[in-house]
Structure 1
Amino acid sequence: MSYAETLSQHRRLTILKFLADSPEYTSNASIMEHVCNDYGVTTSRDQIMGELDWLQEQGLVTYKDNGSFRVATATSRGVDVALGKARNPGVQRPRPGA
């Protein structure tokens, strides 16, 4: 597995964990970009948009584009993956107790 793919898996997990902890399981792409960078997962806005596209294709999030920004919501399955109750290839599995 390449470094880029490993980073994407960690970025996807970071997004899902953040959404799982957010009110109504919802946040916008701008905040998710800051959260990923704060957790040491170097991320651009374009990468967040690409990861949200991928996560939606996998049924882990839904989102709405509102003009110049995107608002995403974790699905039940997305929350289960974030908590380690379910697995999805392409998303890093969380450590126990994390």
Structure 2
Amino acid sequence: MTPEIAVELVAECLKLVVLIVTVLITPSLVVGVLVSLFQAATQINEQTLSFLPRLLVTLAAIIAMGTWLTSKLMDYARAIFERAAQLAL
């Protein structure tokens, strides 16, 4: 395995991880900010109030984007196996 191939594989892996995390975390972040603004405006100091909406939005994101994320992971795994011959050299 040459260093260039290893760096390329690690870079692709990190890009995929960032993509997956961004798709799953961004909706939760937006909902968390909105709930925090609501809490600040109404002066409700309940810590558990923001947990359920963020959980539901994260689950909805997994349901909505799960197929696409799985296909991205499968494409990456397929590319790794196709490059297996190059890795052995």
TM-score (norm 2): 0.35
Q: Larger C-alpha radius of gyration, 1 or 2?
A: 2
The structure, 1 or 2, with the larger RCO (C-alpha pairs under 8 Å, 6+ apart) is 2
Which structure carries more helix by proportion? Answer: 2
Which structure carries more strand by proportion? Answer: 1
